[in-house]
Each structure stands twice: as structure tokens, then as C-alpha cells.
Amino acid sequence: MARKVLMIVYYYPPLGGIGGMRTLRLARLLPALGWEPIVLTVSERTLAVIERDASDGDIPGVRVFRTFNPDLAFRIKRLAGFEVSQTVGSASRGETTSVGLKARLARGLSDWTGIPDRFIDWFPFARKQALELVREFAPEVVFTSSPPCTCHVIAASVKRRTGAPWVADLRDPWIGRFYSEGYGLPLKINSLLEKRSLSQADAVSAVAESIGEDLGRRLSLKVEHIPNSYDEDLLAASTPVEGEGLNILYAGSLLPGRRDPGPVFRALSALRQAGREISGVKIVFAGNDVGIARELAAAEGVEDRVEILGLLSPAGAAAREKGASALLYIQNFNSEAAPADRVLSEGPTGKLLEYLGTGRPVLALMPSAGPAESLITDTGAGEIARTDEDVRRILGRWLDEFESTGMLASRARPEAIESYSSRAMASRFADLFDRVSASAAGRRVR
């Protein structure tokens, strides 16, 4: 008989985006590994930055329970005149003074009310439902994945009430994200909440070793490293959609000043000024909030080399990624609002793992070394660029290769990439669940 795992997760279809991929793939693959997922998530009426087909969450062997979610932060943001997907931490280019002031007030309010994050208003409703599900199904393990960290706060409360074994998974750091999580007293309160919650977990996992090292240093926690994954089934089912010429695809969102394609545009401008023909190059952007790319390219005089596709479905994105000449990855730059000593080095993101699974060459803009660079180097997935000159040099070499052969050859090593498949990730989690449940059973026997 399959053992049960209660998965308390915020991001689940119809909420889309890279944040939910890890848990959705895990729910899909766990039944074959002897675990029956019971998913507790938010109402289908929750506002989504990125939407996906709700039927994607209808998985054989998986029961899904939804509970009311006030969703106040997004609803207030919309009432204040912001798009739900819009970042309001600072005034962006072209904003009026009043809009910039409104953004700063929103960030200040978020520092105080968003502890641990803006999803905390889901807590009382999810906690009540989680307690009922634990009593009804007696799961061998409770599993949470963040962000949002509110999921961990819910599970910690459930653990105190029921004693159910709990595995807490972190896709991003709780404290030390690349963006600010508050300062002064709000940060101290959030840090105390992090310690009080995670110290109750029977096991903690994280996508990046840097997260585990930080938690070990600050909270004396032992953390399992379970990296992100790519969806091998989705990629296998996707027919490549090829673009014209040397087309380099960026899939994801852009954050000016943090996740910025400017180095690529400056490199193209430098190549053109040096007399290099770049009319065959096209930088293609697919995702949420990517329209800013055209404005940034225009500032360098290369807007004619940019194509905006907008938001694509997961299958559409996979098809474009497989058909691209190369893929663009941008590591997050530290926010101006967050001191560098409070920001952890960024681990391999879900998007980078998606890229990895395609086998296409990756141009990675990485201002600093870290685990993501090691991943690219170890798998042979692509090229690392720290500076504009690095980008210019790489693009110049790729132009030479494309003009000579009509394509860019992949130098990725399949055997190294396979260890980052979704099945490999699910097997690691199933093993962790096995150990946690066995340990809990042993304690009950004693």
C-alpha cells in the first residue's frame, strides 16, 4: 500500500510559473515511487501572475484539496493601480513622482505586513484544512516547498499540534534572497520566525548548496541538497519551433537592474560598430514583463535585433527552447536595496535546468561565481560571461560558427545532464521521505 504525503504548496495549477514546477513534477512522479500525494493548495480564484491550464494539476493518483485564500496583497495592488505582475519595489523608468512614491509606500507596507511574505493571509485557512487532512489521512510525511515561506509556517503549526513528520524544502533562501525581505525590526522578526519554524522540521532540503550552508551556519541545520530539475517528458513531447538565423531565446521575466539583458545589447552594438554584420542575429524574449527588452535594446541602437513573443505555455516555451540556436540565461544581480553581504550566491534556477534539458548552448550572464556557474561548467552546457566584453567575444565566435555551419553545435554532456531530470529529483525526495517516515516510526515504537 502506498504511503501518503501531504503536500502544502501555494503554486499549483491554475497558478503557473517556474515556482510551481518542482512540486507539480514531484506530485506527478511520486505515485510510481510508492508515495500517494495529497495536495493542499489555494483557491482557483487566487490571482495569478502567470496562469496555466487547471487540468495540468489533474494527475492520476493525486488528490487535491483547495481552501479559501484572501489574496489581499495582490488585490490591494490591483486596486492601487498596479498590474498584478508588476514589481513595485522602486519607481521604474518613466514613472511619475506620484507613482514612484506609491511604489515606495507599497514596499514599506510590505516590509511590515509581509512577514514572512505577502501570502501570510492564507495561513489560518490552510492551517485549519491541513489539520483536518492530517486527522483524516494520517500521512507518513508532510511536505512544504517555498517560496512562499508561509507554507513552512503552516506546517510548523501542524507539526506542533499533531507531531506529523515534516520535510521543508527551500527553492529560494528564506533570509538572504536576491531581493529585500525587510530591514531592522521586520527582518529580525522574520529571522526569528524562520528559526522557530525550520527548527521543527524533521528534514530540510534546498535546491542550492549555498542555501544549506547558510542554514547550517546560522541555524545549525543539516540540509539535503536536492537540485532543481527539467521535465524530460515535456521536452520529449515537444516539437522544436525553429527561428530564423542565429536566434537566441530568453524565456522568463526581466527585472531591470536585477535581471537585465543590457550586456547582450551593448555587445551587439559594439559588434555592429566594429563593422560586423549582425542582421542574422535575433534575440527573442518569451515570458512575463519582457517588453522592457525593446526599450533597453533601443537605447543601444539594436532594437531591430529584438523579437518579443510574450508569455508562452510550458509546452510552447519548451518547443521554442528546443528550436533555438542558443538560450540566454541571466543570473540575478544584487538589488540596490539589498546589501551584498545579505544576499546568497544564486543556485541553479528551474529555468536554467529547463535550458539544460534541451541540450542547446547557453549564454549565461553571471556577474559572480557560484553553483549555477559550476553546473554549466560541469555539464558543458554553455558559455559564462561576466562582462560586456565577454558577451561580445562569445557572440562573435558564435557568429563565426553559424556563418560556417548554419548552426551552433551542442557541447553538453548527456550523462551529466541526466542526473538533473525530474525522475532523478523525485527519487531523491522519495528516499528522503522514506528515511523521515522510518525514523518517525522508530520513535513511536520506542
- Report the C-alpha dihedral over residues 242, 245, 248, 250, rounded to 10 degrees: -50
Which is more confidently placed, 370 or 317?
317
pLDDT at res. 257: 75
Q: What is the pTM of this model?
A: 0.84
- Sort 415 into a burial class: Cβ within 10 Å, 0-12 / 13-18 / 19+: exposed
pLDDT, tens digit (0-9, with 9 covering 90-100), for 146-167 = 999 999 999 999 999 999 999 9
CA neighbor of 119 nearest in space, from 143, 94, 147: 147
Least confident of 42-56, 115-129, 267-281, 301-315: 42-56
pLDDT, tens digit (0-9, with 9 covering 90-100), for 225-283 = 999 999 999 999 999 999 889 999 999 888 877 788 999 999 999 999 999 999 999 99
Cβ atoms of 420 and 230 closer than 8 Å = yes
- pLDDT bin (cut points 50, 70, 90) of residue 346 is low
Most confident of 1-5, 15-19, 33-37: 33-37
Cβ atoms of 190 and 115 closer than 8 Å = yes
- pLDDT bin (cut points 50, 70, 90) of residue 90 is very low
pLDDT at res. 104: 53
pLDDT at res. 255: 81
- Kindly tell me if the per-residue pLDDT of 113 is higher than 80: no
Which is more confidently placed, 140 or 178?
140
- Sort 92 into a burial class: Cβ within 10 Å, 0-12 / 13-18 / 19+: middle
- Kindly tell me if the per-residue pLDDT of 345 is higher than 70: no
- Sort 121 into a burial class: Cβ within 10 Å, 0-12 / 13-18 / 19+: middle
Share of the chain above pLDDT 70, in %: 86
What does pLDDT average to over the chain?
Answer: 88
CA distances to 261, 289, 293, 307, 360 from 297, rounded to whole Å, are 9, 15, 6, 11, 24
- Kindly tell me if the per-residue pLDDT of 340 is higher than 60: no
β-strand partners of 321: none
pLDDT at res. 369: 82
- Kindly tell me if the per-residue pLDDT of 85 is higher than 60: no
pLDDT, tens digit (0-9, with 9 covering 90-100), for 380-438 = 999 999 999 999 999 999 999 999 999 999 999 999 999 999 999 999 999 999 999 99
Residue-range domains of the chain with CATH? 3-229+421-445 (3.40.50.2000), 232-419 (3.40.50.2000)
pLDDT at res. 19: 81
- pLDDT bin (cut points 50, 70, 90) of residue 95 is very low
- Kindly tell me if the per-residue pLDDT of 13 is higher than 50: yes
pLDDT at res. 49: 74
- pLDDT bin (cut points 50, 70, 90) of residue 179 is very low
- Kindly tell me if the per-residue pLDDT of 105 is higher than 70: no
Q: Which three cell numbers stand for residue 94?
A: 518613466
**Average pLDDT of span 270-297:** 93
